Amino acid sequence: MRYKEMSDKEIIDVHSGSRLGVLGQTDIEINIQTGKIESFLIPNYKWFGFKKEEQTERIQWNMIEKIGKDIILINTEKN
């Protein structure tokens, strides 16, 4: 699956049930030796999504439980 195919999917934490964001609004960390995605960096927004805070949440690739048609389910307790 290409990143472009995943970019519109919402990221949901199965442990807390919270919505973390949309994959297309995140940054990614790629291992330059293997070319594989290591993690997603989800920015924290405030003021109705207009101002990005300095703090981001790192979601490791191994936290992904399932990639569905519309959402990506992650387990933040897995790390």
Looking at residue 8, which CATH number applies to its domain?
2.30.30.240
Model confidence at 73, in pLDDT bands (50, 70, 90)? very high
CA distance 51 to 61: 26
Model confidence at 31, in pLDDT bands (50, 70, 90)? very high
Q: Domain span at residue 69?
A: 3-74
Please tell me what DSSP assigns to residue 49.
T
- Give a yes or no: residue 69 inside a domain: yes
- Give a yes or no: residue 25 inside a domain: yes
Question: What's the pLDDT tens digit per position in 40-59?
Answer: 888 775 554 555 555 678 88
- Give a yes or no: residue 79 inside a domain: no
Q: Give the per-residue pLDDT at 79.
A: 59
pTM for this prediction = 0.72
- Give a yes or no: residue 50 inside a domain: yes
Say how many domains are in the chain. Answer: 1
Picking from 11, 7, 9, 29, the residue whose alpha carbon sits closest to that of residue 21 is 11
- Give a yes or no: residue 38 inside a domain: yes
- Give a yes or no: residue 18 inside a domain: yes
What is the end-to-end Cα distance of the chain in Å, rounded?
23
